[in-house]
Structure 1
Amino acid sequence: MKMKIAFASEENKGLESMVAQHFGRCPYYIFVDVEGNLVKTIETKENPYFNSHEPGVVPQFIAKENANVIIAGGMGPRAIEWFEKLGVQPITGISGKVKDALDKYLGGKLSGAGPCDEHS
């Protein structure tokens, strides 16, 4: 099964980047294409809405990149709703390095999204 997983990131270090705690205000997104459990490509993109964003623009950006999943530390309830409407599975409550979160996700150990405290 092929899929693209997006990670909100604080750094431009690929899989070594730290997962950002606020998905919409992170400076980068790491996009990882996987086939089964094999990483095929890794691409880092700057957040085009880093300095200012309106509700829905970041979820639409992630969806246009053909991501199936977005993984972040935190996310507001409206963003979660946007992702669900766009067919992108949001996963929140994640910290640490992107590579560790990727391993946990591929191992079936990550799922679910809830609004972070500052947004609920």
Structure 2
Amino acid sequence: MKVAIPVAEGKLAVHFGHVQEFALVHVKEGRIEKTESLTPPPHEPGVLPRWVESLGATVVIAGGMGHKAQQLFAEKGIRVLTGAPCETPELLVTQFLSNNLQTGINLCDH
């Protein structure tokens, strides 16, 4: 499994579509195997869902995300979790794997 997380200064970035870096966390047998730091393509509608899919990610953890982007991810079979706290990608994935990830209000809804 691969989990994509938008980051800024090493922690989850609130604004999904306008970040300069993504963490791609590789999970094998329920454990984090490695984390890659990747530069996304320039932001345009529909580009990030295609890019994340091309990376093989099946989960996105975000602070906030617009409804259209969520719909595009869903169409690709990619699970989106919004309202996650601004923590390190490794901590977020560890919490996700142990079913302890606290998600809440989609920060883009405010």
Show the counterpart of 1:6. 4
Alpha carbons 1:91, 1:113 under 8 Å: kept: no
The sequence identity of aligned pairs, in percent, is 33
TM-score by length of 1: 0.81
Matched, 1:116 2:108: yes
Large movers: runs of 4+ above 4 Å = 111-115
**Corresponding residue of 2:46:** 56
Task: Choose which of 22, 32, 51 in structure 2 pairs with 1:39.
Answer: 32
The verdict on how the C-alpha distance between 1:76 and 1:66 changes in structure 2, with shifts beyond 3 A counting, is same
What residue is the counterpart of 2:23 in the other structure?
A: 30
Q: What is the alpha-carbon distance in structure 2 between the residues aligned to residue 100 and residue 4 of structure 1? A: 15
Kindly indicate whether residue 14 of structure 2 is the aligned counterpart of residue 21 of structure 1: yes
Shift of 1:112: 8.3
Partner residue of 2:62? 72
Instruction: State the Cα distance separating 1:22 from its structure 2 match.
Output: 1.1
* Superposition TM-score, scaled by structure 2 size: 0.87
Give the letter aligned to residue 56 of structure 2. N
The 3 A distance-change label for structure 1 pair 94 and 112 is closer
**Deviations 1:60-82, CA, capped at 9 Å, x for gaps:** 10011000101111100000000
Mapped to 2, the partners of 1:104 and 1:24 lie a distance apart of: 23
From the superposition, tell whether residues 115 and 77 of structure 1 become closer, same or farther in structure 2 (CA, over 3 Å).
farther
Query: How big is the alpha-carbon RMSD for the aligned residues of Structure 1 and Structure 2?
Result: 1.9
Give 1:114 shift: 4.5
Aligned length: 108
Show structure 1 runs of 5+ residues with no match: 12-16
1:87 and 2:77 equivalent?
Answer: yes
- Give the distance between the partners of 1:58 and 1:115, measured in 2 at CA: 18
